[in-house]
Amino acid sequence: MAIVLKSVKPEYVVVEPGEYTALLDDVKQTTGKFGPLLRFQFRIAEGEPYENIPVSLVCSAFLTPGNRLDKILQTLGTASTNVGEEINVESLKGAVVKVYVENAKGEGETTYNNVTKLRKLREGEAKGHTVQAVTSPAATTGQAPATAPVTTASATTPPVSEQLKKEDVPF
């Protein structure tokens, strides 16, 4: 008997702009129009109806002390970078941070969920709330994910006016 498969377009959920607690799932290196890039793939850890929805941040893969990539890495948990120092970006997977999502229009009618800013969790934000950590890539396909508990921020999201402050945004 022949096996017949039908390709389906995965459901893409457009996330409302705002601040969300997110987990760093993956970091991939790609090449863009102006050179090497890093794509930080986050998954929203709380905020119904957007839990487990992927969002990403793309930046230049050139690391110099004090540049945008250095500040992103520091927010994710590395120390300040010195010239010649190597950082294992894979070790940052699982970091829980606050991300600010904005929407950008692509070709056609595609809307992208872009992370434009991120910050460390403030004291008290990481207490007592459990979310589900995706242990398979199924979250991007709309399938039911395999899960494991991860402790992150509280379930309440402050109003936009109280979310990100200038001192919270390192870049």
pLDDT in tens, 85-95: 788 888 999 99
Backbone angles phi, psi at 32, to 5 degrees: -115, -175
Instruction: Summarize pLDDT for 4-56 with one digit per residue, the tens.
Output: 988 887 678 889 999 999 999 999 999 988 899 999 999 999 877 899 999 99
Q: Give percent of the chain with pLDDT exceeding 90.
A: 40
Q: What is the pTM of this model?
A: 0.68
* DSSP assignment of the chain: --------PPP-PPPPSEEEEEEEEEEEEEEETTEEEEEEEEEE-SSTT-TT-EEEEEEES---TTSHHHHHHHHHTPPPP-TT----GGGGTT-EEEEEEEEEE-STT-EEEEEEEEEPPPTTTTSSEEEEEE-SGGGGTTSPPPEEEEEES-S----HHHH--GGG---
- The domains found in the chain, sorted by start residue, are 18-121 (2.40.50)
Least confident of 60-64, 119-123, 155-159: 155-159
Q: Is the pLDDT of residue 77 over 60?
A: yes
